[in-house]
A and B are shown apart, each in its own frame.
Chain A
Amino acid sequence: MMTNPTGRITQGQFSFLPDLSDDEIRLQIEYGLKKGYAWSVEYTDDPHPRNTYWEMFGMPMFDLKDAAGVLMEMNSCRKTFPNHYIRLMAFDSTRGVESIAMSFIVNRPRTEPGFGVVRQEADGRNIRYTVHSYATDRPEGERYAG
């Protein structure tokens, strides 16, 4: 992948940067809390860009005052799924917005095999292109084991 030579998936905020440290994550969370967002933790092992809805790790956290609570949840998710993608999402419940305002990855598998191009021959001599994550060749839960 020439546009992404490191082979790391780039979804959400900060994904072209080196991984955020815990202190930097704390600052981001504080920023969101100050704006009144509700943070939640999600994980997945299917990094396909169109896989929008990841698995929730616990409930979204409303009415928090301090980042420590979110960090606690994030760390327990890291402990449970050390080799999954984990992201933090901030939900803005303001009327009229009511959607995710921030989202960034806080944990990645050790190795990210990346994506291959799949060419499908369709009617006539048409070719349909799509991307396919090598990781998903293996069953769920074993994708980043080795």
Chain B
Amino acid sequence: MSKPLYSIPGATPPAGSAPGPAAAASAAAAVEAARTVNEVLAQSQVEAVMDELDRELIGLAPVKQRIRDVAALLVIDKLRANLGLAADGRSSAPSLHMCFTGNPGTGKTTVALRIAEILHRLGYVRKGHVVSVTRDDLVGQYIGHTAPKTKEVLKKAMGGVLFIDEAYYLYRPENERDYGQEAIEILLQVMENQRDDLVVILAGYKDRMDTFFKSNPGMSSRIAHHIDFPDYTGEELLAIAERMLTAQRYRFGEGAREAFAHYLGRRMQQPHFANARSVRNALDRARLRAASRLFADRDRVLTEADLTTLIPADILASRVFQTE
């Protein structure tokens, strides 16, 4: 983070547009003087984000561990910098580009948002916003269209995190005149030269990303952190379901939790199971059925309990149970 050369009268420091800008800005200043890990943690409020990560995201133990490692490295780097031990120039900034691989619905996007927050709190990225793009936003349709398009996205992402979803689509080996390669080259150049301006996170399914990296070794070697998101177990999915329901002010009625566990057991065996996303969809459908059930009985006085409870029948009516 570049320190202002002088203070502009009447202006607030340029840091921090994220939630709590004043707090973040003053924290950033305080971090400069810190000498212990606790001081950095307390002043940058990273601990709070990491706790939130632990509390709100279920499972994903290896992912959380890696994020803790990265955060620890950044904290120690901060302390080293405060004592004047930092390597000189831009080489001191550790490369933080990441690659998230995992099956659909394993929380890649959610974690990316959290990472941006953590990096911002530590002052590693200046603004901490996330720009989420796919192939369409980077690759143009005709010759000469790709470079400006990619650069525009990169410029928007500067000071924050560029999250490229389904990154393997950038490279289309079956079409040798595909413009994706051009986007990749520009991306690589900026990833290398402007490491302190933005962090790039690629996301995609494991097998396809592996092929992508095999054909783009330059990309693979510029990404320091390859994080694999494991699938959720049945229990974790059930916990996720309960958390989603609580957030929507619903709850499982008697026996509904068991019914949902049963549903998950079957659904997980089926193709196109998308972890947390499937859970969300299943719950949405259950809410639909609950609504129709209540709608059918027009004269009944509906209590709060009626309106917030999912009964087993709502879940057992699913298509999953009808296949036998």
Report A's interface with B, CB cutoff 8 A.
Answer: 21, 23-24, 26-27, 30-31, 34, 58-59, 61, 63-70, 72-73
Contacts and interface: CB of A to CB of B under 8 A. Distances in A.
Contact of B194 (A21, A34, A67, A72): A72
Given A30-B14, A58-B148, A64 B2 contact: no
Interface stretch (B3-11, B252-260, B275-283): B3-11
B315 to A, nearest CB: 43
Contact of A64 (B148, B156, B194): B156
Interface of B: 2, 4-5, 8, 11, 14, 17, 126-127, 129, 148, 151-152, 154-156, 158-160, 194, 197-198
A69 B154 contact: yes
Given A31-B11, A72-B155, A66 B197 contact: yes
11 contacts: A30-B14, A61-B155, A63-B156, A66-B158, A67-B158, A68-B155, A68-B194, A69-B155, A72-B151, A72-B155, A72-B158
Nearest 7 interchain pairs by C-beta: A66-B159, A69-B155, A68-B158, A68-B197, A30-B14, A69-B158, A66-B158
Given A59-B148, A66-B197, A27 B8 contact: yes
A27 B4 contact: yes
A69 B156 contact: yes
Contact of A70 (B5, B8, B155, B194): B155
B2 A23 contact: yes
Could you tell me the dominant secondary structure of chain B's interface residues?
loop
A48 to B, nearest CB: 30
B132 to A, nearest CB: 13
A65 B129 contact: yes
Contacts of B156: 63-65, 69
Contact of A59 (B2, B8, B152, B197): B152
A37 B74 CA distance: 33
Contacts of A23: 2, 4-5
A70 to B, nearest CB: 7
Nearest to B13: A30
Contacts of A73: 151, 155
Given A59-B148, A70-B155, A65 B8 contact: no
A40 B204 CA distance: 34
Nearest to A28: B8
B15 to A, nearest CB: 9
A64 to B, nearest CB: 6
A61 B159 CA distance: 15
A54 B229 CA distance: 51
Given A27-B5, A64-B158, A72-B151, 5 more contacts: A21-B5, A30-B14, A58-B151, A68-B159, A68-B198
Contacts of A67: 158-159
Contact of A26 (B2, B17, B155): B2
Nearest to A76: B151
A36 to B, nearest CB: 11
B147 to A, nearest CB: 10
A66 B160 contact: yes
Contacts of B5: 21, 23-24, 27
A70 B194 CA distance: 13
Contact of A66 (B4, B11, B126, B148): B126
A27 B14 contact: yes
A66 B127 contact: yes
Contacts of B159: 65-69
A65 to B, nearest CB: 5
B160 A65 contact: yes
A69 B190 CA distance: 11
A6 B119 CA distance: 46
Contacts of A61: 152, 155
Nearest to B193: A72
A50 to B, nearest CB: 31
Contacts of A72: 151, 154-155, 158, 194, 197
Nearest to A58: B148
Nearest to B12: A34
Contacts of B129: 65
Given A23-B2, A23-B5, A30-B14, A65 B158 contact: yes
Contacts of A24: 5
Nearest to B15: A30
